[in-house]
Amino acid sequence: MDSLLTVASHARATLPLDVLIALTALAIAPFLFVMTTSFVRIVVVLSLVRSAIGAAALPPNTVLTGMAFVITLVVMLPTWTAIDRSALQPYARGKLSTAQALERAAVPLRSFMLRQTRTRDLELFARIAHRPLAATTEAPLFVVLPAFVVGELRAAFAIGLSLYLPFVAIDLAVASILMGLGMFMLSPPVVSLPAKLLLFVMVDGWALVCGGVVSSFR
């Protein structure tokens, strides 16, 4: 009887802690989704493509964010499958504590982030945090996370630059032609925007952009 009372009191003591952890996880879930997945690279690339085309509000931000979200689900599916298999399912069956489940869930996520992260960035943030690294695989998450985000921004800007150049070439060509014809009162974007849209549609631009950014992940 005493043992049953002890177990019951322990369960009552740990229940508020589990609820607190669950509420905290829900509160930071959007932040974790953005900062620990492929979302940053994808949404930045899509935004740069829209800027390069010159249509400032088309597609709208809601469409770009939704597209980035869906592509992120596709890219992260193997990682989330591994997290579900190694952490969530055992935790749901009561075989793991909350701390053990979080520790196991971090392993596939850390592996994904490390594949996209340069050693130089890891060493930089390890030096900032005063945590010298014996090996990159042993880097703590508070070092891996900023290094991963910096790497994602770098990759997104590199991809965006390569996509930007053809549209800049069209702008320059249109501006040169209009100046040669003496049509100084006609704004070059009025002519270059339809040309860029036509080129983008002819080469199936959105499919190429989405396929290219997905293939850039390791």
pLDDT tens profile 39-63: 888 988 888 888 888 777 778 888 8
pLDDT at 7 over 60: no
Rounded Cα distance, 48 and 34, in Å:
18
Contacts for 46 with CB less than 8 Å, ≥ 6 apart: 64, 67, 68, 209, 213
Rounded to the nearest integer, the mean pLDDT of the chain is 78
Contacts for 206 with CB less than 8 Å, ≥ 6 apart: 200
Rounded Cα distance, 149 and 164, in Å:
22
Residue 85: what residue type? Answer: R
- How far, rounded to the nearest angstrom, does the alpha carbon of residue 7 sit from its chain's CA centroid? 43
pLDDT at 68 over 80: yes
Whole-model pTM: value is 0.77
pLDDT for the residue numbered 125: 82
From the list 46, 44, 94, 78, the residue with the least C-alpha distance to 200 is 46
pLDDT for the residue numbered 188: 67
For 177-203, what is each residue's pLDDT tens digit?
A: 777 777 766 666 677 778 788 888 888
